[in-house]
Structure 1
Amino acid sequence: MEKLDTLDMSILTMLQENGRRSYTEVGKYLNVSEGTIRSRINRMLKDGVFEFVIHTNPNKIGLNVQTIIGLTTKLGMQEKVAKQLNQFSEVRFVGAFSGKHDLMLQAYFRSNEDLVDFVNNQLSKIDGIVSADVSLELKQYKDSFSFIEKK
């Protein structure tokens, strides 16, 4: 992967503000050609610097229950458990952490009943999970995927 320069960072900043901007618009704003913008974006996509995604508001599509679940796993089973968790459509994020829990996951559900069903009928069947600490989101203060500071 090539090192990101100031032009790359400027492109990322503009796309972060509005991912629907045309390459022509970005190029005009940054005083470079549309072709330069296209090649830079294609390189960064290829290198995995970013990806285009649609960030859906879960509440607007009926997913009204957001949870963070901390899991304790049996020694040596963390990766196996994580791979199984990746298969569930309800699970948006799975990560290994230091601290109280071996794995943390974020998941969305239509209702509390769906969450209870997931814990009792899905998580309970995964070999290697010792315990689950389920936390419900009560209020959201920030939900962002913007990591580059505006200048």
Structure 2
Amino acid sequence: MAAEKKEIDEIDRKIILDLQEDARRPYKDIAAKLAISEGTVKNRVTRLLQRGVLKLEARVDPFALPHKIPAIVGVNLKDRNHDEIMRQIEKIPEVTGVWNASGHFDLFFEIMVDSLDELNEILFKKDLKAIGGISYTETFIILSSTTKYFKLS
């Protein structure tokens, strides 16, 4: 189930880059920086949101919170039902993202838990085990990070 690709122009790209730095930045500031009207910025942001190109959300820095352990889990599947297993993994409340990937693993997911016991419970005793169709997982505990989200380049 591949997402439909949506083209953006250079102005859209610059607006997105500004909002990635600060999603609360006033449209008038973006407009002044890009030498366009505030109305143009507002209309373009609205259009990008409606088309699903842009999503504005609050992101949590797990390293700023006590007792939060972020991890990436690589997953190999018994069969190739990627989409269904991705949907099931995405339903686990502690999972923050799921990706279909090329390379050694079929899928990756990011998870944020309060303890290693909780991670163990999710991976081996209940949630992931209940999904089925998974032949192997490898867990990578994130020790530090300079990036808290993907940026448009």
Report the Cα distance in structure 2 between the residues aligned to 1:139 and 1:18, rounded to whole angstroms. Answer: 22
Distance 1:113 1:13, change over 3 A: same
1:42 aligns with 2:42: no
Equivalent runs, 1:1-151 vs 2, <5 Å: 3-62=7-66, 64-121=68-125, 122-148=127-153
Q: Which runs of 4+ in 1 moved over 6 A?
A: none
TM-score normalised to the size of structure 1? 0.85
The CA RMSD measured in Å over matched residues stands at 2.0
Are the counterparts in 2 of residues 70 and 133 from structure 1 also a CA contact under 8 Å?
A: yes
Of all paired residues, the percent bearing the same amino acid is 26
Report the Cα distance in structure 2 between the residues aligned to 1:75 and 1:3, rounded to whole angstroms. Answer: 34
- CA drift at 1:3: 4.0
- Count of residue pairs the alignment pairs up: 148
- One-letter amino acid of the counterpart of residue 53, structure 1: E
Question: What runs of 5+ residues in structure 2 fail to find an aligned partner?
Answer: none
1:115 alignment partner, SS class: helix
Computing the radius of gyration from Cα coordinates, the structure with the larger value is 1
Report the Cα distance in structure 1 between the residues aligned to 2:132 and 2:6, rounded to whole angstroms. Answer: 41
Question: What runs of 5+ residues in structure 1 fail to find an aligned partner?
Answer: none
Report the Cα distance in structure 1 between the residues aligned to 2:150 and 2:50, rounded to whole angstroms. Answer: 19
Distance 1:137 1:3, change over 3 A: closer
TM-score normalised to the size of structure 2? 0.84
Report the Cα distance in structure 2 between the residues aligned to 1:2 and 1:82, rounded to whole angstroms. Answer: 23
